[in-house]
Structure 1
Amino acid sequence: MNQRKETIGFIGLGVMGESMARNLIAKGYQVYVFTRTKEKARRLIADGAIWSENPKEIAINTEIIITMVGYPKDVENVYFGDKGIYAGVKAGSIVIDMTTSTPSLAKKIYEEGKKRGVSALDAPVSGGDIGAEKGTLSIMVGGDQQTFIECKSLLFALGENIVYQGPCGAGQHTKMCNQIAIASNMVGVTEAFVYAKYAGLDPETVLKSISNGAAGSWSMSNLIPRVIKKDYSPGFFIKHFIKDMGIALEEAEKMSLRLPGLELAKELYDSLAKQGEENSGTQALMKYWDLSMEDGGIKER
């Protein structure tokens, strides 16, 4: 990227966002940051990030703005609020939403940007807290291909598998494919280790046998070791996964498509959320069986 593109705005410093912003700083970018609670930015400021009071201020001071927030309503506010990005953005800037959000909102951001001479990419990611920390995320990109080409070196500061998917919204649709695959896989992976537990097997030994064979997956290799240690801290929040599954089901309905595996996975995670687990990591799906057994066994659906 050329010199004028080396100052980056980064909005949203959650479980993944903080590590992503830190990787940009480590690559030599000057990074302006904003998040709702300034305390969350303290470590990044110590590392050289520059604090901004709101997204509008970020947009005024930078020419590439990355957003990584929680929900579509947060994306909407960050871009279109009174002190949002589009209240201060300059013509020629690039906005990149890396939140998992709706394809329709990605299109709205793109169209509004076009009116202002601003280019927009929807570029959701996969890889969780581990991928964010290591800079190994998979990034699925929608928008104009020329804008994607301009931003490739920046995106490679955050991930390894960077793939252009097509026009605006295509990145978000691809992320839905990703989440659909993970949802059903999480049910299968967790059930395998519930079975191992009740069969009296050692879970670590089972993991050694099956994680490298046909049953292997990212979730098994990265999340089951946490389950074995009863570490349910969030690499990715259950509440955010429920949000993603809801978006996927809504989009599927628009296509007259039924996804029973995804429906089941969401039902299980909804059950956990109702029992206070919404801020746990997705690997806490194991608790569904633990809680059900405490209540006298898995009940018929």
Structure 2
Amino acid sequence: MSKNIGFIGLGNMGGRMTGCIVRAGQAVLGYDAKTENIAAAGATPADSAAAVMAGADVVLLSLPDSRVVEAVVYGDSGILAAAREGQVVIDLSTSAPDSTRAIAADFAARGVRFLDAGISGGAAAAEKGQLTLMVGGDADALASVDDVLGYFASNIFHIGESGAGHTTKLLNNFLNAVALSATAEVMVAAKKAGLDLATVLDVFNKSSGVNFATINRFPKIITGDYLKGGLTNTLMLKDVTLYADLVARLGVASLNASGPLAAFGLARALGYADDISNTVVDAIGDISGGVRLHDGERKESR
């Protein structure tokens, strides 16, 4: 059966996911605080989040954090008040699991199934429709919307009950933050040691130091290409903080959170708050004698 699709939050990631759906020939009713984002994604504009909820069977959210998700759900022109039985809402944001579970319960009281779907892969994978999703919530609800999610995701995992998807996303994002901040520090050290950075990365990628950052980020960064559309330093710091809160509640000793908290906090303090988190290497370079891994201006590609 054909589904009417709505999307709320058509920014960096949401716009790319919406674009994948539209390019597949599906209309999307969209809302974003920046109206230009709606047109850029190819969506049909709605005048409020509630209007998207009223006009769609499946509603996807891609928002900065739980505070914004809660405002969209409960606030003026919020989507909970406009909900109707049988709808599915999918939160693609990086949200606090406790907040997610509370929202899911409130939607369930109205006969609406709420899925929390953490995403991984970044802007490049979103552009290509090759994201990985880690989904919490009802398995039957997920099965009912896997065709919609398949427009922008090539790997979809059902993790467990409500909140499990966002929990897994925080765990994944923490590992990503550790790899990026630690590799940034190491690459600044390699530069100051006078090593050839491309060769150093080749060594790492054939050795035990290999990670996502050495494979996918720094081969570009050393040429001045910081890539486009990834998490900002502010959002990375937010995700690491959420991780630290999560493991504290679980009673798990967090022995490794201090590094990325310091690194991305430094980047924010030095003026890189809204820049892609790859610029953490410049922040570390700034306090290490003004080091840059590359010559020339910083650029961004997909």
TM over 0.5, shorter chain: yes
Quote the Cα distance in structure 1 between the aligned partners of 2:80 and 2:26. Answer: 23
The amino acid across from 2:184 in the alignment is: T
Quote the Cα distance in structure 2 between the aligned partners of 1:38 and 1:187. Answer: 34
Q: 1:213: Cα distance to partner?
A: 4.0
Residues 289 and 44 of structure 1: CA distance in aligned 2, closer, same or farther (over 3 Å): closer
Choose which of 86, 93, 96 in structure 2 pairs with 1:92.
86
The amino acid across from 1:121 in the alignment is: L
Q: 1:82: Cα distance to partner?
A: 1.7
The amino acid across from 2:109 in the alignment is: K
Quote the Cα distance in structure 1 between the aligned partners of 2:272 and 2:116. Answer: 29
Choose which of 105, 109, 112 in structure 1 pairs with 2:103.
109
Matched, 1:126 2:123: no
Q: 1:173: Cα distance to partner?
A: 0.7
| Aligned residue number for residue 299 of structure 1 | none
| Aligned residue number for residue 246 of structure 2 | 251
| Aligned residue number for residue 23 of structure 2 | 26
Retained in 2: the 8 A contact 1:183–1:262?
A: no
Question: Which ranges in structure 2 are unaligned for 5 or more consecutive residues?
Answer: 292-302
Q: 1:72: Cα distance to partner?
A: 1.2
Residues 43 and 136 of structure 1: CA distance in aligned 2, closer, same or farther (over 3 Å): same
Farther-moved stretch of structure 1 (284-293 vs 117-126): 284-293
Quote the Cα distance in structure 2 between the aligned partners of 1:294 and 1:270. Answer: 19
Where do residues 98-247 of structure 1 align in structure 2 (5 Å cutoff)?
98-232=92-226, 234-247=229-242
The amino acid across from 1:199 in the alignment is: A
Q: 1:28: Cα distance to partner?
A: 2.4
| Aligned residue number for residue 297 of structure 2 | none
SS in 1 for 2:133: strand
Quote the Cα distance in structure 2 between the aligned partners of 1:234 and 1:139. Answer: 18
Render the CA deviation track for 1:215-249: whole Å, top value 9, x for unaligned. 32222222113321334454111111111111111
Quote the Cα distance in structure 2 between the aligned partners of 1:179 and 1:275. Answer: 22
Residues 212 and 52 of structure 1: CA distance in aligned 2, closer, same or farther (over 3 Å): farther
Choose which of 33, 37, 44 in structure 2 pairs with 1:36.
33
Retained in 2: the 8 A contact 1:63–1:90?
A: no
Quote the Cα distance in structure 2 between the aligned partners of 1:290 and 1:162. Answer: 38
The amino acid across from 2:82 in the alignment is: G
Farther-moved stretch of structure 1 (160-169 vs 183-192): 183-192
The amino acid across from 1:63 in the alignment is: D
Retained in 2: the 8 A contact 1:98–1:123?
A: yes
Retained in 1: the 8 A contact 2:122–2:229?
A: no
Retained in 2: the 8 A contact 1:97–1:122?
A: yes
TM-score (norm 1): 0.91
SS in 1 for 2:287: helix
Farther-moved stretch of structure 1 (188-197 vs 17-26): 188-197
Render the CA deviation track for 1:109-160: whole Å, top value 9, x for unaligned. 2101111010010001011111111111110100011111112222121111
Quote the Cα distance in structure 1 between the aligned partners of 2:257 and 2:177. Answer: 6
Residues 234 and 20 of structure 1: CA distance in aligned 2, closer, same or farther (over 3 Å): closer
Choose which of 262, 267, 272 in structure 1 pairs with 2:262.
267
Question: Which ranges in structure 1 are unaligned for 5 or more consecutive residues?
Answer: 297-301
Retained in 1: the 8 A contact 2:7–2:61?
A: yes
Question: Runs in 1 of length 4+ with deviation above 6 angstroms?
Answer: none
Quote the Cα distance in structure 2 between the aligned partners of 1:277 and 1:41. Answer: 27
Q: 1:208: Cα distance to partner?
A: 2.9
The amino acid across from 1:71 in the alignment is: D
The amino acid across from 1:269 in the alignment is: F
Retained in 1: the 8 A contact 2:13–2:229?
A: no
SS in 1 for 2:85: coil
What's the C-alpha RMSD, in Å, of the aligned pairs?
1.7
| Aligned residue number for residue 13 of structure 2 | 16
Quote the Cα distance in structure 1 between the aligned partners of 2:8 and 2:223. Answer: 33
SS in 2 for 1:124: strand
Of all paired residues, the percent bearing the same amino acid is 28
Q: How many residue pairs are counted as aligned between the two chains?
A: 290
